[in-house]
Structure 1
Amino acid sequence: MRLTYLSILLILTLFNCKNDGNDAENNNAYFGGEIMNPNNDFVVLLKSEKVIDTIKLDNRNRFLYKVNDLEAGLYTFYHGGEVQMVLLEPKDSLLLRLNTLEFDESLVFTGKGAKKNNYLINEFLENEIQENKIYKFCQLKPQAYLRRIDSLKDMKLDKLKGFKIKNTTSPLFDKIAQANIDYSYYSSKEVYPFVHHGGNKEEILKSLPSNFYDYRKTINYNDDFFKNYYHYNSFLKYSINNLALGGHLMHSDDDKFKRGSLCYTLDRLKLVDSLVSNKVVKNELLKNFTSNYISKSSNSENNDALLNAYLKISTDEKDKAMMKRFASSLNNLKEGSSFPSIKLVDYKNSEFEIKSLINAPTVISFWSHAYYDHFKESHYKLNELKNKYPEVRFIVINIDGYGQEIPKSALKANNFMFKDEYQFKNPKESIEALAIQPMTKTLVVDKHQKIVYNNTNIFSVNFEEQLLGAINRK
């Protein structure tokens, strides 16, 4: 007999009840669910970045996995490039249901352990919405800004209090839920000097109340429990940015703070080295600051200087090797260089060398199913540009490597044409060769197959000006 989603849940519930007296079973948990529009046929479950297992989907896109000898805590699962976390505790039987087209927004849990996880995912989504409000509030003066973010924090605390009144919660859940609220609040304070209008960051810092950052005295910058947790890691990046800002302004000769300067990025690496001792936390921060700078810089000397500083501090050999390859790829994509040899496949399964497609000014952009909003918005923008600049060739490449059915379905569902749409023949090697980071990265190539811009953005205010420059090149 084919089990329905609800019948699986019922069996898990009965199974847990039956084993209430079994200590070995009491320390286990079940994790499963159903994925609509799957990107591949498996789900990966991890704990502290260590893979527990790769779980195959059945022919109805469902999965079920028993976690033996469960270590209570936050677990990560990913599917098709999307990542999310769940809280698993002994005797949980947690089932999820999601649609990959709206991964986080569609995610809902049922079964034992569902209420706490639905609370956490709802908090995650609400925080994403509130980020836009925070950026607007940042234009207020400090005291008015504090009143707004204090009000948001109080609302979250009231919501958590109400949830705990209605539901029996564990100390572990309480710790994570409180950390969500605290680190989101602290992040709101750390971003204020950067988002607040005005280029004089020193004056903005001086305008803050003397106790504005008092909470820093209580922060553990080496928290092993939260080292893989989104809110904690986001806070750390914001905090390092802000702490380094104060030191940077004391010795910088720039008239105006330049967030993308080499000096400021080196200051951040030095601060991480002095402040953070946990290897996982430290190496991740170093990698993040270094890769973000290098991906946006076209100055090879500055890139080399930062890379050398990073290599001296980081202790993660795998990350260091990756960063060397990343920098090397960017160096090969210098403006004026010939575009590298890359093999593409169209949706009729015909193979092309990309250079054979470049005989006019050409825009090359990328998309991934994991960034579905960007996929849609970028295609709308590209269609607009195609109509406006018929003399330009637009090559659009899906980077996922899932095969052709999923991207074809996405294109069809949104009424996007297949013309000039491709996939990489060898996704991993091609992504590395073109140093595709971030996803908004766009390359502009002239009719002679020379790189004009190696990292621009079709949504940039000066993109069309750049495009006209490429069109007018002889």
Structure 2
Amino acid sequence: MRRLLLLSIFSTIFSIVGCQNKSTNTDKVYIGGKIVNPNLDYVILSRDEDIIDTLKLNNDNQFGQYLNDIDPGIYTLQHNPENQVIYLEPGDSIMIWVNTYDFDQSLNFSGRGSQESSFLLDLFLQNRANNELILNYYKIKPEEFKHISDSIHKKRLEEFNENSSKNNLSDNFKKIARQSIDYEFYDLRERYTYLIKKYYPEFTKLIPEGFNDYRNSLDFNNKLLKNYYLYTNTIDDYLRTRAVEYCIDEHKDRDCFNVSNFDNIKRRAVLIDSLSSTPSIRNKFLDLLLSKAVTMVTNKEDLKKVLHFAESLNYQEIEQIRQLSKIQENYFTGKSVANLTLLNTNSEETTYGDVIDKKSIVYFWSANNIRRYIWQFRTIKKLEEKYPELDFIGVNLDIGQEKKWLRILDENNYDQKNQYQLSKRKFSNDVATKYLYRLNFLDKNAVIARGDAPLSSSAEFESQLLEFLNQ
């Protein structure tokens, strides 16, 4: 049925566009399609964080447009709060069908050049399944995990070779697809390495020789994949693990797994600063790390240290870090958030002061970070059962995306009792999402008692909860 609908849309839109241009221009790219249950009346196509074009929906929620000057490569198709990668090169004519109620699963590409985007979508869905796999399999011994990860890598390569033989894929795309499969494999190994070092350190002695040899193949200047999540996730996870390993080697008496600790963040920033000479890659990670360092600061003295370090780097967006620092001064320990507004699940505006009547832990989440929010809710559920004396309050950061927020809660059967969404703010959405990794320990008067403890199910985090309860 969906295929028939796509053909109908394809014919309709091309009959309209055909009146304007009946010639076939292989230097152009055509993108068209339909969005069912749209959140907005437009779709954004971007690359390297630059907007290429904004495609408007008509009254039937259809869109269609020719694009000029499109270089071959990976682009992002965004319909807030959803987004997905798409591969484009001159001569492509791609139709898209998607239902926002199940964006990734329903997404369908057809038309000339669509097989590349379909391959990337399948890889994304398989990789998302790997997120569940790693949470289940990091408890097994290294030799067993080596076999599992090798098997996944081999299967992906077989699928790619089969796809290549059936379809006329461009050489440029073949490079992207082949490297993407490798980086998926690298990330599986890297995440496993981190998890066993943290939770099962006795397994580190059992890691087989060559298990981490893939690290020699990591390219910190990969311009072909620089905006592709499989690549950026791998580099991010590598920096995290290496910072932990450095800490373990140099400071055996320190908690090296507090990845929100400034020393850990600083080490990762120093690493990417030394490893990458590509400004767009280097600055992407510096922005992530320095922003996290600022949002975890709890007093003026520590904020000065973070700013001094940031200014010591050749970082292009230092002014944004300075602006974020000014905002952060409102979230130091001892500051009240009682008057800040929230939206409850009945679409009613309220405040922290109205919501909080006992000691509470506030965590933030976004629909745009699926891997994290699934883990967050799973972790919070366990903590709620163990610590009923505390309220655990979830605050969604996707302001204005009320339908999507409620749909996620409903579809995943998340308890909506203590779920809220940001209602108003004096700063941009980009700034809001920088608080994704921050927790606020609030007393019964909605005053911040602590804001630098990262969410975790570890014994150390639970000791912090108990300390907070006993204050």
Matched to 1:437, the amino acid is Y
Matches within 5 A, 1:219-230: 219-230=218-229
Change (3 A) 1:256 1:338: closer
Which residue is 1:332 aligned to? Answer: 330
Secondary structure of the structure 1 residue equivalent to 2:284: helix
Greater mean deviation of Cα atoms: 459-468 or 59-68: 459-468
1:329–1:435 Cα contact (<8 Å) kept: no
Change (3 A) 1:451 1:53: same
Matches within 5 A, 1:75-224: 75-196=75-196, 204=204, 207-209=207-209, 211-224=210-223
| 1:446 partnered with 2:443 | yes
Greater mean deviation of Cα atoms: 184-193 or 442-451: 442-451
**Structure 1 position 277, deviation (Å):** 0.6
Determine the C-alpha separation between the residues in 2 that align with 1:435 and 1:404.
16
Change (3 A) 1:288 1:419: closer
Change (3 A) 1:269 1:348: closer
Which residue is 2:278 aligned to? Answer: 278
2:9–2:34 Cα contact (<8 Å) kept: no
Matched to 2:278, the amino acid is N
| 1:37 partnered with 2:37 | yes
Which residue is 1:8 aligned to? Answer: 9
**Structure 1 position 46, deviation (Å):** 0.9
Matched to 1:188, the amino acid is L
Determine the C-alpha separation between the residues in 2 that align with 1:415 and 1:131.
19
**Structure 1 position 86, deviation (Å):** 0.3
Change (3 A) 1:39 1:270: same
1:34–1:61 Cα contact (<8 Å) kept: yes
**Structure 1 position 103, deviation (Å):** 2.3
1:329–1:434 Cα contact (<8 Å) kept: no
Determine the C-alpha separation between the residues in 2 that align with 1:215 and 1:332.
43
Determine the C-alpha separation between the residues in 1 that align with 2:88 and 2:121.
14
Secondary structure of the structure 1 residue equivalent to 2:427: helix
**Structure 1 position 155, deviation (Å):** 1.0
**Structure 1 position 136, deviation (Å):** 4.4
Greater mean deviation of Cα atoms: 63-72 or 9-18: 9-18
Matched to 1:196, the amino acid is I
2:439–2:453 Cα contact (<8 Å) kept: yes
Q: Show CA shifts across 1:404-462 (max 9, x none).
A: 666677778899999887654534538789776227x5545334342234467898588
Change (3 A) 1:231 1:205: farther
2:29–2:68 Cα contact (<8 Å) kept: yes
Greater mean deviation of Cα atoms: 252-261 or 371-380: 371-380
1:135–1:195 Cα contact (<8 Å) kept: no
Which residue is 2:313 aligned to? Answer: 313
Matched to 2:7, the amino acid is L
Secondary structure of the structure 2 residue equivalent to 1:31: strand
| 1:231 partnered with 2:230 | yes
Q: Show CA shifts across 1:166-199 (max 9, x none).
A: 2222112211110111111122333343122567
Change (3 A) 1:181 1:360: closer
What value does the CA root-mean-square deviation take over the aligned residues? 4.6
Determine the C-alpha separation between the residues in 1 that align with 2:189 and 2:375.
33
Which residue is 1:58 aligned to? Answer: 58
**Structure 1 position 465, deviation (Å):** 8.9
2:298–2:331 Cα contact (<8 Å) kept: no
Matched to 1:112, the amino acid is R
**Structure 1 position 272, deviation (Å):** 1.5
Change (3 A) 1:249 1:31: same
Matched to 2:239, the amino acid is I
1:429 to 427, 451, 461: 427
2:343–2:420 Cα contact (<8 Å) kept: yes
Secondary structure of the structure 1 residue equivalent to 2:40: coil
Q: Show CA shifts across 1:141-176 (max 9, x none).
A: 444433322221111111111112222221122111
Secondary structure of the structure 2 residue equivalent to 1:429: coil
1:199–1:257 Cα contact (<8 Å) kept: no
2:363–2:439 Cα contact (<8 Å) kept: yes
**Structure 1 position 26, deviation (Å):** 0.7
1:333–1:434 Cα contact (<8 Å) kept: no
Which residue is 1:254 aligned to? Answer: 253
Which residue is 2:398 aligned to? Answer: 400
Matched to 2:443, the amino acid is D
Determine the C-alpha separation between the residues in 2 that align with 1:245 and 1:456.
17
1:329–1:432 Cα contact (<8 Å) kept: no
2:342–2:349 Cα contact (<8 Å) kept: yes
Q: How high is the sequence identity, in percent, across the aligned residues?
A: 27
Determine the C-alpha separation between the residues in 2 that align with 1:215 and 1:385.
39
Determine the C-alpha separation between the residues in 1 that align with 2:348 and 2:135.
46
1:101–1:372 Cα contact (<8 Å) kept: no
1:13–1:112 Cα contact (<8 Å) kept: no
Query: Which 5+ residue runs of structure 2 have no aligned equivalent?
Result: none
1:368–1:375 Cα contact (<8 Å) kept: no
Matched to 1:163, the amino acid is N
Which residue is 1:49 aligned to? Answer: 49
Secondary structure of the structure 2 residue equivalent to 1:196: helix
Change (3 A) 1:156 1:63: same
Matched to 1:100, the amino acid is T
1:400–1:427 Cα contact (<8 Å) kept: no
Change (3 A) 1:221 1:396: closer
Determine the C-alpha separation between the residues in 1 that align with 2:346 and 2:22.
59
Q: Show CA shifts across 1:30-69 (max 9, x none).
A: 1122222322222111122211112222222222221123
Secondary structure of the structure 1 residue equivalent to 2:145: helix
Greater mean deviation of Cα atoms: 200-209 or 236-245: 200-209
Query: Which 5+ residue runs of structure 1 have no aligned equivalent?
Result: none
Change (3 A) 1:99 1:378: farther
Residues paired across the two proteins, number: 464
Matched to 2:91, the amino acid is K
Greater mean deviation of Cα atoms: 363-372 or 321-330: 363-372
Determine the C-alpha separation between the residues in 1 that align with 2:12 and 2:430.
46
**Structure 1 position 223, deviation (Å):** 1.7
